[in-house]
Amino acid sequence: MNQYHAIVKRFSGVHRDIWLFLVAIAIIGFSGQMIESVFNNFLNETYSLKPLGRSVLELPRELPGFAVAFVAALLFFLPGRRLAALAMILQAVGLILLAFCASSFAVMLVWLFVMSLGMHLFIALQNSIGMELAHEGHEGRRLGQFSSVRNFAAITGSFLVYIGFKHFNLNFATTFLICAAVLVIAAFCFMAMTSTPTHKANLHLKLHREYRLFYWLSVLYGTRKQIFITFAPWVLVTIYGKPTQVIAYFFTIGGIAGIFFQPLLGWTIDHLGERFVLSFEGVSLVFICLGYGFAKSVFPDGNTAYYIAATCFVIDMILISASMARATYLKKIAIHPSHVAPTLTMGVTIDHAFSIAISILCGIVWYKLGYQYVFLVGMLIAVVYFFSVMAIRIPKKPEHVEMEAQPPVVD
């Protein structure tokens, strides 16, 4: 009984903003995973894209990521949490238009741009909002907790796609409408959160010499991430011929693993440091790229190669969460707390400038040389990433730097 009262007391003491953010982040995980689970098959079945066309598609899909620092500067009068609400509405509108008004490939690209703009605006905000809700020195733990909740919800989303497409004739349009509806709820959650200070427009567009390693890691992360997002599922869909429900199944498996892995990742960031976590990611990516690119050459029977590629897909999906270590690294080296959110936004713009380029380059490489060479490029990026991460140093925080006011939080 005492233990029950202790649990009730602990949860009743959690700040309202944390509950609202948890609901919003769960919705974002749920809808995002549904979209990711169907998107490649949606393109393949609706527009019959070839690998080069699939890579060129990343220009309108990822261009909003490049533009996000400029959009955030234009909307500087909106506090971060209100900007997050706007991001949810943009995604919802884009998804509704994709469901009903994507009769041609060219029209679909316009609606994809709208949806993607909302998605990328939130990518720039999620870690800064999450760290606002954490005690000093426990940012990794808090981000790990939020990521775990997001992952749990993502499992529900991918499982719904798996069951829906396999047994209940769920289609792409209905999937997009479900996601749009729940994203509107997430927008209300962000609107209900306590408002935070705004940042001057020029802060969103300013590059600081002191953060040059963070910017470089953003470049490498953008190229690494794009190979996973664009070409890893495309290998499973086109090289191994797997349908929507199978891709959704792997997203579900990755989500289940992430529930346990991401809190551990957050703990590791707080106790062993960002350099340890990011260097482990770099080493792992070398072997993952080898598995994607050359499993079929080593095991021509097909089944073994497929299982290796699928395993690489799940591990790669889990490792994407290591990006939270870059956010906590930035917060630790920030000259002033007001630099954190705008610099994270600039990091998204930088990583997308290079992710767009790498998607087009690798599409040409796939078309001319074969998919194996795409993952050779990925392996080289992983090696550079590893040696770059080894340069991370965390300076002692000057005592005179005062943190901005934050809502009360509990561990």
Q: Are 321 and 262 in contact (CB under 8 A)?
A: yes
Q: Is residue 365 part of a domain?
A: yes
The per-residue pLDDT for range 400-409, each reduced to its tens digit, is 444 444 444 4
Do the domain assignments include residue 398?
no
Number of independent structural domains in the chain: 1
Domain containing residue 22:
9-389
The answer to whether position 130 is within a domain reads yes
Looking at the domain assignment, is residue 257 inside a domain?
yes
For residue range 33-70, list pLDDT tens digits in order.
Answer: 899 888 878 887 888 776 666 666 767 777 888 888 88
The structure tokens 């741009």 sit at 113
Domain annotation covers residue 298: yes
Query: What single-letter DSSP state applies at residue 195?
Result: P
pLDDT digits (tens, 9 = 90+) for 272-306: 889 999 999 999 999 999 988 888 888 877 688 88
Per-residue pLDDT tens digits for 358-401: 877 888 888 888 888 889 998 999 999 999 999 998 876 554 44
Residue 11, burial from CB neighbour count under 10 angstroms (0-12, 13-18, 19+): exposed
Domain assignment present for 1 = no
CATH assignment of the domain containing 370:
1.20.1250.20
* Distance, CA of 162 to CA of 165 (rounded, Å): 6
Question: Rg of the chain's alpha carbons, rounded to an integer?
Answer: 21
- Tell me what pLDDT residue 43 has: 81
In the structure encoding, which two tokens stand for residue 376, read together? 């050779």
- Residue 290: inside a domain, yes or no? yes
Q: Residue written as tokens 């270590």?
A: 325
In a domain? residue 231: yes
Are 313 and 293 contacting, i.e. CB atoms less than 8 angstroms apart? no
